[in-house]
Structure 1
């Protein structure tokens, strides 16, 4: 099965092509640039370099969020458009699960991928490997970083923290957890799009038309609008 994976959920732009158990190619950048004008050229370049054409594809897999509101929306929209146009299945995978899978294969403990959500908050969840398979220990959610590490301290388990936003929160993590916390290496921070492809390979396809990103929370602009208009239509 030939799969195209797309991840634009944060600064990292990741595109991958796999064929069954083989990684054919990956494209990864971690720079603050507009994904909307870079995704399709990146896909086209990777496919050309890998001697593939769109009709070769059997499935599209996309990082569905959480993450940057705009970034998640761009990736999901492009993935839905490609899947519908090519008439092939589409699957969505948690953006946090991709980060966990990119660093935690050989970690004997729980994995906490994280994205900064501003104001001391993080998007995170808990994952672990069981017989080579990534499973969810605690669902993705949004909360204050200090509350998260306090809850993890009670578990008294080694925790691997991973994600490009770790430097924003590593002081809070280290102060609360000490040696209980393991910080992933710099080369392990970027979400690997090939991991995304493998995570989505066996997932059930979604309904393309009803599939929406998992923002976890409303976009800030929408939240402010709802707050400002609270009670006006009651």
Structure 2
């Protein structure tokens, strides 16, 4: 079973190829460049290097958000288009789950990945590995990082934080959690597309017609448009 995984939900662009229990290849970059012009060439290059043809794919797995509104939309749109064209199933996986699995598979404690959401807010959730399975303890949400620290302070074990936005929220989390707050190394912060593929490999397929990204909140432009429509009534 060959699985193609696609993650464009944040600055990190990740493409992975799995064949059964083997990782054939991964492409990862963490640079601020337009995913829309880079993702298809990255997919093509990786598949050519791994000698995998499109009609050999059995499934596509995509990071469904939260994250960058534009980035999430690009990845989901490409994944849906490919799944529809190739007539193969598609599964979506939380972008935060991918981050948690990439850094915390062997951490004996709680996992709290997050992405910056501006104005002191973060997209985050709470996870833990139990018997090699990633368990969701608190669903993905949008919250102030200080409030999140207060919430997690009630836990009875250390919490591992992983994010390419650590520098923006590390001090706040330290103030609320003290020594309970553990921060992943820089080499563990880029979500691995192979983990994405593994998380979604056996997950139930979505309905291509109704599947949409998990933005958690509306994009700022969409929010402003809705407010304008209400004001015009």
- State the TM bucket, normalised to the shorter chain: over 0.9
Question: What TM-score do the two structures reach when normalised by structure 1?
Answer: 0.98
Query: Secondary structure in 1 aligned to 2:153?
Result: helix
The residue number in structure 2 matching 1:15 is 15
Distance in structure 2 (CA, Å) of the matches to 1:232 and 1:203 = 44
Question: What TM-score do the two structures reach when normalised by structure 2?
Answer: 0.98
The residue number in structure 1 matching 2:168 is 168
Distance in structure 2 (CA, Å) of the matches to 1:65 and 1:10 = 9
Query: Secondary structure in 2 aligned to 1:33?
Result: coil
The residue number in structure 2 matching 1:104 is 104
Structure 1 unmatched runs, 5+: none
Runs of 4+ in 1 over 4 A off after TM superposition: none
Query: Secondary structure in 1 aligned to 2:230?
Result: coil
Query: Secondary structure in 2 aligned to 1:17?
Result: strand
Aligned runs of 1:140-179 on 2, under 5 Å?
140-179=140-179
Distance in structure 2 (CA, Å) of the matches to 1:109 and 1:194 = 23
Paired positions, count: 233
- Structure 1 stretch displaced more, 194-203 or 221-230: 221-230
Structure 2 unmatched runs, 5+: none
Q: What displacement does 1:231 show?
A: 4.8
Query: Secondary structure in 1 aligned to 2:204?
Result: coil
Query: Secondary structure in 1 aligned to 2:113?
Result: strand
The residue number in structure 1 matching 2:195 is 195
Distance in structure 2 (CA, Å) of the matches to 1:28 and 1:36 = 15
Aligned runs of 1:179-190 on 2, under 5 Å?
179-190=179-190
Distance in structure 2 (CA, Å) of the matches to 1:204 and 1:11 = 27
The residue number in structure 2 matching 1:38 is 38
Distance in structure 1 (CA, Å) of the matches to 2:224 and 2:149 = 29
After superposition, the CA RMSD in angstroms is 0.8
Q: What displacement does 1:162 show?
A: 0.4
